[in-house]
């Protein structure tokens, strides 16, 4: 993906970008919790465990309130990616890490470290469950088995 950005989309002209934006409609990177969903209670054991891990491992970049740092660390509160029905993308980011693409406008290219080797399946599931249900977010809880399955996929196809 980084290559697509570095060698292609970052080089698009203003008219190209406008045409794509018109085609795609308004970006909805920040959304309220999907209607009909309620967040897990903060007292839920998975939320408590997830919060402890978040404060220890994630807060330094994504901040206590999940707001992140503009142009550096993405906002998790209100993130559509984080609140997707399926947890695959978020689990992959947490276990494998991710690097933003380099562009002339954003040359810093911040990266997210992999946590797969530092968190076991229970811990990865708990922290993922937490970010999906904190700060007004709401999305289905993530089970340890989901984390184990994603770990297996990444091992087979890194
Ligand atoms: C060293 C800083 C750092 C730490 C620590 C960190 N992250 Fe990240 N995280 C990032 C960066 C940078 C990105 C964006 C990378 C990109 O743009 O591709 C990111 C992206 C994400 C995303 C994708 C967000 C989206 O909307 O696309 C999620 C989810 C996430 N991090 C969760 C976590 C969790 C959970 C932890 C703790 C286990 C954590 N991060 C720890 C820096 C960090």
- Whether ligand 1 lies within 6 angstroms of the CB of 124 is answered as no
User: Ligand 1 in contact with 42 (CB < 6 A)?
Assistant: no
Q: Taking residues 59-71, report their average pLDDT.
A: 96
Report the atom number in ligand 1 closest to the C-alpha of 99: 18
Ligand 1 centre to CA of 15 (Å) is 31
pLDDT at 23 over 60: no
CB 93 near ligand 1, within 6 Å: yes
Q: What whole-number distance in Å separates Cα of residue 40 and Cα of residue 21?
A: 35
Number of helices (H), then strands (E), belonging to the chain: the values are: 7, 2
Please give the torsion angle defined by the CA atoms of residues 31, 111, 87 and 115, in that order, rounded to the nearest 10 degrees.
-140
Q: What is the pLDDT of residue 90?
A: 97
At 30 the pLDDT is 60
pLDDT band at 158 (very low <50, low <70, confident <90, very high): low
Nearest of 82, 54, 77 to residue 134 by alpha carbon: 77
Instruction: Give the mean pLDDT of the chain.
Output: 86
Would you state the pLDDT for residue 36? 82
CA of 35 to the centre of ligand 1 (A): 25
Nearest to 108 by CA among 65, 152, 72, 156: 72
Considering the chain, what percentage of its residues have pLDDT values greater than 70? 77
111-112 vs 98-99, strand pairing mode: antiparallel
Domain boundaries, the chain: 26-156
pLDDT at site 120: 98
Query: Using only C-alpha atoms, what is the Rg of the chain?
Result: 17
Predicted confidence (pLDDT) per residue in 136-148, tens digit: 999 999 999 999 9
pLDDT of residue 104: 77
Q: So what's the pLDDT on residue 99?
A: 81
Q: In the predicted model, is pLDDT for residue 103 greater than 50?
A: yes
Q: For ligand 1, atom 39, which residue shows the shortest CA distance?
A: 58
Full-model pTM: 0.83
DSSP 8-state class, residue 90:
H
CATH topology of domain 26-156: Cytochrome Bc1 Complex; Chain D, domain 2 (1.10.760)
């Amino acid at each position: 993906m980084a290559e697509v950005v570095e060698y292609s989309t970052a080089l698009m002209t203003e008219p190209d970008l406008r045409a794509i934006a018109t085609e795609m409609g308004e970006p909805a990177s920040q959304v309220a919790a999907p209607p009909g969903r309620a967040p897990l209670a903060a007292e839920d054991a998975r939320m408590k465990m997830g919060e402890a891990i978040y404060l220890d491992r994630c807060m330094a970049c994504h901040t206590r309130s999940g707001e992140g740092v503009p142009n550096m660390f993405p906002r998790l509160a209100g993130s559509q990616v984080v609140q997707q029905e399926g947890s695959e993308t978020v689990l992959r980011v947490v276990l494998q890490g991710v690097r933003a693409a380099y562009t002339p406008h954003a040359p810093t290219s911040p990266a997210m470290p992999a946590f797969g080797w530092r968190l076991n399946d229970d811990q990865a599931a708990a922290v993922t469950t937490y970010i999906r249900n904190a700060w007004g977010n709401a999305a289905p809880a993530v089970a340890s088995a989901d984390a184990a399955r994603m770990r297996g996929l990444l091992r087979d196809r890194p």
